[in-house]
Chains A and B, each alone.
Chain A
Amino acid sequence: MNEPGGGEMRISTENDIVMARKSVREAAVALGFGVTDVTRIVTAASELTRNIYVYAGSGVMRWRSIVFENGIGLELTFADQGPGIADVERAMEPGYSTGKGLGMGLPGAKRLMDEMELHSEPGQGTTVCIRKWLLRR
């Protein structure tokens, strides 16, 4: 299922957050990211998998390497069929949370990565896609 450079895992327990961090770390290191970027990517993945576990109960994380003209990147997608986010704009504000969290997860993950796209429909679920680019020198 998990070929080099990509894979998918189900997130439904607290321990899956740890497993997701491990998988993402391996993928980022294999692509050649430096220690600081690896830490950034793993931390963003930790926030987003915890969001799945806390708000939706279960979901899926997918990762793959992507190629662009100047180099390669790592793309992570977090998808759930949970309650969705009623106010996406507010959810992106630091300090805003509908749960018991700090409200750091979504805005923090966005700052740690190069790109982030979020799609959410109340009652349908949430998909968050994040990317980090690795420039070729």
Chain B
Amino acid sequence: MAYGNISVIKVRDILLVTVPPDPDDLTVTELQEQVLQAMAVHEAKGLIFNLSTVDTIDSFFARTVTETVKMAALMGGLTVLAGMRASVAITTTQLGLSLGSTLTALDVDRAMDLLGTALRREESSA
């Protein structure tokens, strides 16, 4: 699936969301809606936001991403933010943004592992 510049790929129970490098506000807003709709349609249990291509995250972008993580959680989905660049991590933190307890991973590979483990743990305790 591709919505404008956003790509959402389903891998097993997980949706892999790739964000364009420098999205406008409309694209960021659309991303939230499209991702949550895709979650419902594909009965996904997990989301991975691949941020490795993103070169700037300002407060609007960050707020939309953290909101989406909370919304996905309300729908029973677990989210991992993956691949944030060092320069972006430094900047968003100095800007004053906090991700709270959101799961993060260095890259998509590790995010898949993390999500797989977390989802299995959820299943076995359910």
Q: Which residues of A contact B (CB under 8 A)?
A: 14-15, 17-18, 21-22, 35-36, 38-40, 42-43, 46-47, 50, 94, 101-102, 104-105, 107-109, 111-112
Cβ–Cβ contact A14 & B24, under 8 A: yes
> Which residues of B sit under 8 angstroms from A105, Cβ to Cβ?
59
Q: Which residues of B contact A (CB under 8 A)?
A: 22-26, 55-60, 63, 85-88, 90-92, 94-97
- 12 additional A-B pairs beyond A38-B87, A43-B57, beta carbons within 8 Å, are A14-B24, A18-B23, A21-B22, A21-B56, A22-B22, A36-B91, A39-B85, A39-B88, A42-B56, A50-B58, A104-B96, A112-B94
Cβ–Cβ contact A18 & B22, under 8 A: yes
With A94-B96, A102-B59 in contact, do A14 and B26 touch (Cβ < 8 Å)? yes
With A18-B24, A43-B56, A47-B59 in contact, do A36 and B90 touch (Cβ < 8 Å)? yes
Determine the main DSSP class of A at the interface with B.
Answer: helix
Q: Specify the chain A residue showing the minimal Cβ separation from B97.
A: A104
Of the candidates A21, A22, A104, the one whose C-beta lies within 8 Å of that of B95 is: A104
> Which residues of A sit under 8 angstroms from B90, Cβ to Cβ?
36, 39-40
Q: Please, how many angstroms separate the alpha-carbon atoms of A13 and B11 in the complex? A: 37
With A18-B22, A104-B97, A111-B96 in contact, do A39 and B91 touch (Cβ < 8 Å)? yes
> Which residues of A sit under 8 angstroms from B25, Cβ to Cβ?
14, 17, 50
Of the candidates B23, B59, B87, the one whose C-beta lies within 8 Å of that of A104 is: B59
Cβ–Cβ contact A36 & B86, under 8 A: yes
Cβ–Cβ contact A43 & B96, under 8 A: no
> Which residues of B sit under 8 angstroms from A40, Cβ to Cβ?
90-91, 94
> Which residues of A sit under 8 angstroms from B26, Cβ to Cβ?
14
> Which residues of B sit under 8 angstroms from A18, Cβ to Cβ?
22-24
Q: Specify the chain B residue showing the minimal Cβ separation from A24.
A: B56
15 interchain pairs, CB-CB under 8 A: A18-B23, A36-B90, A39-B85, A39-B90, A40-B90, A40-B94, A43-B56, A46-B60, A47-B59, A101-B59, A102-B59, A105-B59, A108-B59, A108-B96, A109-B95
Of the candidates A22, A101, A111, the one whose C-beta lies within 8 Å of that of B94 is: A111
> Which residues of B sit under 8 angstroms from A46, Cβ to Cβ?
56, 58, 60
Q: How close is B66's CB to chain A, nearest CB, in angstroms?
A: 10
